[in-house]
Structure 1
């Protein structure tokens, strides 16, 4: 059983005796919950103070009859899990210099699964053949050549930028946008530069979403 950010089992170790449900530890009385603990052994005099602290702690939690339990993700205001909020939890929000590529990533208007893919891209965690080999999923004897060109190893930058197939896709995109530019060979730099030729911040933000869709 949990209360707040910790388990009661850990906070009141001396009182923990058995696994049981909350429903087995009390009863409803005219819409109010009353705790009724059945101890499996005699409570020692020195433990009475711990029990009072335990009960005071429980009274901070209000149980509502008929309400269905549900998970709430406290890192997001709406209570639902989002990739962005999870990233912010994992990062130290008090960092003086946040990583620019991630600040731009979360500004995109892409679906959450696309943003999650972008997050993996910029951390270098896309399952390319090179990454799979590093993790031991692909052995040293297996082929790690790019699935598109078969000319070099399938690294992240090669797969998304440098492969002739990928390079052609980006070139067609720039032609469609009417932009003439050199393509960086690093995914994070490429993302940050993409769309900067447009004047307004709104247009530049839209181009970041386009980048994620193409990637």
Structure 2
């Protein structure tokens, strides 16, 4: 199910155990889907490790085996040119007197910048050491002998359940935003929102060209890119900082980005700034959806106005002691937050 989801036996098993409703599926079937790379990868995915030996059971472009990420995502232009898109590692080269030599097949000659990309690909693969006449294998890391057992899984889950909660989630949970927005923020931090990259991995869309960010038209739309590093998103966030009267560099990772919007340990101050941050990611997401589904143009000034309005409405609704007008909020948000 993980590597041949369209095979006959996989479709038969899915037809038997999946009733078409995620809410009515058994816990067993949900875990099977997670183990096979479905949405919400969790404990099982963390426990399994793949050891690449000769590369005869590992997809060259489609699996994360090289130490630099999934090669299809890192070199998607070369992937589109490849004639061996679904090939195993062992199909992408030959053994010559005990030494492995990469040998790729392309639909046309490599030209221009593609030559540099190919050089970078070969450089990334320089540290890979394949073993001739051996088989790739999976191991179960929680077990000393690498063999899966129910007992080792139970012990692994017991330890996972004792892990302390992430303090980042406490920050957003206490913000004065609707629960749906807080839930979206949590999914964003965990990189589980349905951006184009996620849809591409699940074969909902099939072309890398269709997965390019609609705002900047430059990079693949990942959740982190869309909300934090895209040129449109950066203009919106720096506009927010300018409105707040704060001068700061902004990280591209959601946890670090969130921590830029806080006042030390002052709970009430953080509550206001967290609400602004939530309004920011929510507005960017809605702007993206408006562009995808209604072809509406995304404008930085309009997004900033919506962030100001939404954050004021949310705070005024959730915090009864907040009595500042929309004009006061627009004029001096930090003063309003400090007096909360």
Aligned-partner Cα distance in 2 for 1:183–1:146:
20
Match of 1:10 in 2: none
Structure 2 CA distance for partners of 1:157 and 1:105, relative to 1, 3 Å: same
2:181 is the alignment partner of 1:114: yes
Other-structure match for 1:125? 192
TM-score (norm 1): 0.53
More helix by share: 2
**2:262 aligned residue (192, 195, 200):** 195
Task: Output aligned runs, 1:10-159, within 5 Å.
Answer: 95-140=162-207, 142-159=209-226
Q: After superposition, give the CA deviation of every residue in 1:150-191 in whole Å (9 maximum; x if it has no partner).
A: 011101111001111100000010001111111001012211
TM-aligned CA deviation for residue 100 of structure 1: 1.9
Deviation at 1:141, TM superposition (A): 5.0
Displacement of 1:94 after TM fit? 6.1
Report the RMSD for the aligned CA atoms in angstroms: 2.1
The one of 280, 283, 286 aligned to 1:214: 280
Please, which moves more after superposition, 118-127 or 165-174? Answer: 118-127
List alignment gaps of at least 5 residues for structure 2: 1-158, 282-340
Deviations 1:84-114 (A, max 9, x none): xxxxxxxx99635211221212111111111
Q: What is the alpha-carbon distance in structure 2 between the residues aligned to residue 142 and residue 185 of structure 1? A: 23
- Structure 1 ranges of 4+ moved more than 6 A: none
> Equivalents in 1 of 2:160, 2:175: separation in Å?
20
- What is the TM-score with the length of structure 2 in the denominator? 0.34
Q: Distance in 1 between matches of 2:177 and 2:208?
A: 39
Question: Highest CA radius of gyration, 1 or 2?
Answer: 1
Residues of 1 paired with 2:163 and 2:221: CA distance? 35
Q: Which residue of 2 aligns with 1:85?
A: none
CA-CA distance at 1:199 after TM superposition: 7.2
Query: Is the contact between residue 104 and residue 192 of structure 1 (CA under 8 Å) also seen in structure 2?
Result: no
Query: 2:213 aligns to what SS in structure 1?
Result: coil
Q: What are the ranges of 5 or more consecutive residues in structure 1 without an aligned counterpart?
A: 1-91
1:185 counterpart (207, 232, 252): 252
d(CA) in 2 for partners of 1:169 and 1:102? 23
